[in-house]
Each structure stands twice: as structure tokens, then as C-alpha cells.
Amino acid sequence: MGKLRGADRMTDGLFPSWMLWALLSACFAALTAIFAKVGVEGINSDMATLIRTAVIFVMLIGIVVASGQSLAPSAVSGRTWLFLLLSGLATGASWLCYFRALKLGPASQVAPVDKLSVVLVALFGVLFLGEKLSGPNWLGVVLIAAGVILLAFK
């Protein structure tokens, strides 16, 4: 793993930098649910996903080029390509399912069920990546799952 630079480095402050990025991600994800719920009205959910993906694609090209982070495709290892391809396929499937759910159901119920991904990531991290969870961590996983159940059913 290379040296961390700039925004990727841990801060000397109260919170590590990853936490700030994760909190910003949560805020943007919340806005995504609201904007997508309104945006999917009157349009096929698959088309809505395509439009969203095109916006993201253009935005990321701008960010990568402007920040000087672009690489030649040959500089990326085969293993990295494989797992990013799998991640992209999973992301696409997730987005298609999410937009379909938003088309059919209330955002206040769809978004919490979507966040079961938190529980699944914890479980998959333990099973496939060898990560360890403490007792309080497992309690958090159970509480998140319970919260999803309470929010999903009115």
C-alpha cells in the first residue's frame, strides 16, 4: 500500500479523516434518496439510473483529470481490474434495485432497508476478509438490523 497523502491521511484532530468522509457520504446518500424519489416520478427507474450514472461518470472524469490522478489502464494490476469490475457490477445492480424500490415505495422505508448493507458488510468483512468485531461491535450490528426492521414496517 502506498503512502497516504493529503485528504487520505489520518488527521491529528479529534476524528480520523475517514470518519469525516464517511459522514459526508451519509449526508449525500440521504440527499440521494430524496432527490431520486422525486426524480424517478414519471420516468422508468432503469432510465433514471442511467441518467444518474452518466452524471457520476462525467463528474468523476473531471475530478480525476483535475486532480492529476489519472493512470494508464496498463498501470492497474489484473487483480485490481477484476475486483473493481466486480464492484462495478455490484454497484450497478444495487442502484438498479434501489431506484426500482424508490419508484415503488416510500423513501422513508426504502432507505433504511437499503442500509442493511451496513449489517451485510460487517458480516462479509468477518467471513471473507478476516476482520474481527468486538462484543460492542456485534451489538451495534444487531441494533442496526433491529432499527431497519422498526423503520421498514409501519
Per domain, the residue ranges of the chain are: 15-105, 115-154
What mean pLDDT do residues 48-65 have? 96
- Radius of gyration from C-alpha coordinates of the chain: 18
pLDDT tens digits along 68-127:
998 898 999 999 999 999 999 999 999 999 999 999 999 999 999 999 999 999 999 999
96 contacts 46 by C-beta, under 8 angstroms: yes
Q: How confident is the model at residue 14 (pLDDT cuts 50, 70, 90)?
A: confident
Mean pLDDT rounded to a whole number for the chain: 91
Residue where the block lists cell 481490474: 81
Q: How confident is the model at residue 1 (pLDDT cuts 50, 70, 90)?
A: very low
DSSP state of 56: H
What are the backbone angles phi and psi of residue 7, rounded to the nearest 5°? Answer: -70, -15
